[in-house]
Amino acid sequence: MATKEVQNPAPTTTLEGKRSPRATIWLWLTVPIAFLVAIAAGVGFFIEDLYRDAPVNTAQAVGQDLITLVVALPTLLISAILALRGSRRAHLVWLGALGYLVYTYLTYTLAIQFTPLFLGYVALLGLSLYALIGDLATTDFARIKAHFSPRTPVKAVSIYLAVVALLFYFNWLSEDIPALLAGGVPKGVIDSEAPTDIVHVLDMAWILPANVLTAIWLWRRRAVGYALAGTLLSFLSLLVLAIMSMIVFEVLYGQVAALVPVAIFGSVFAISVGMVVWYLRGLKE
């Protein structure tokens, strides 16, 4: 039986497409977030001996700090400014950059040895997380979907998100399952001298299921899928670039690291950037 659509008495966007003050308050959190990112990533990259972790973790942290500082931070700032001016494309990119920061500082707060920047990491995690949740909660997904062109590559993006999820699941499970069956510990956990691999945890419990669900919702042309697809493609572009940087810095720090994954992740990065550009071109400003 058909039902009438319930009207939202307090819309989060105006008729012109600009976001209301209730919604844009989350965008303004970009100011303290950017300030803290500049400090945390800048100090992490330029100050030697800040990290007191296993060599592989130290190399990865420095490599990630570089990408956070020179790519993620400008992306966050520029997309926030454009989103405040009403850009729907920039809004989705901004959400992706926020997701990257949540992911990054979850790993720093839980997997990096205690440093003088610990409270900064906690503040970044909290601000980024609540900005992400708050903005998604006040986003009009139906309005975003309505501004996508019928020629938007919905099917291609759906398949890509699902394939990325399957590839990462296969990669991580190929390490974890043999170790479990042998009653041992994956090599990555041993090398990092950690109780577990937080990247496997975050990916398999959060990011990869999000990829799969978004792929399904987008394939079925649900409104939430349109918004999350742009967000995840932006997130993946930043994260994969950071992973490439981590591998390079492992080599620079004298760690044994295969450079073949750099080429693989480089391909994923190029495809992700191409996909996000192709996809967001279908979103009318």
pLDDT in tens, the chain (285 residues): 444 444 444 444 443 445 555 668 999 999 999 999 999 999 999 999 999 999 999 999 999 999 999 999 999 999 999 999 999 999 999 999 999 999 999 999 999 999 999 999 999 999 999 999 999 999 999 999 999 999 999 999 999 999 999 999 999 999 999 999 999 999 889 888 888 999 999 999 999 999 999 999 999 999 999 999 999 999 999 999 999 999 989 888 887 766 677 788 889 999 999 999 999 999 998
Q: Tell me, what DSSP letter sits at residue 243?
A: H
Alpha-carbon distance values, 99 to 16, 19, 202, 268 (Å): 27, 20, 12, 18
The predicted pLDDT at position 6 comes to: 42
Tell me the backbone φ, ψ of residue 225, rounded to 5 degrees: -65, -35
pLDDT at residue 21, rounded to an integer? 57
CA–CA separation, 218 vs 224, rounded Å?
8
Residue 113, CA distances (Å) to 61, 102, 117 in order? 11, 18, 10
Query: For residues 269 and 106, what is the distance between their CA atoms, to the nearest angstrom?
Result: 22
Question: What pLDDT was estimated at residue 9?
Answer: 42
Alpha carbons 44 and 271: distance in angstroms, whole number = 29
Half-sphere exposure at residue 234, Cβ-oriented, CA atoms within 13 angstroms: 25
Torsion sign across C-alpha atoms 179, 253, 116, 199 = negative
Tokens of 266: 């480089």
Interhelix angle 223-252/55-67, rounded to 10 degrees, is 130
Distance, CA of 184 to CA of 116 (rounded, Å): 34
Q: Helices (H), strands (E): how many in the chain?
A: 13, 0
Which residue, chain included where needed, has tokens 């398949």?
A: 159
What is the phi/psi pair of residue 20, to 5°? -75, 165
**pTM value?**
0.91
Which pLDDT does position 19 carry in this prediction? 56
What is the rounded distance in angstroms from the CA atom of residue 168 to the CA atom of residue 197?
14
Contact 143, 45 (CB under 8 A): no
The string over 71-108, giving b where at least 16 C-beta atoms fall within 10 Å of a residue's C-beta and e elsewhere, is bbbebbbebbebbbeebbbbbbbbbbbbbbbbbbbbbb
Structural tokens at position 64: 């990630």
What does the block give as tokens for 121?
């990491």
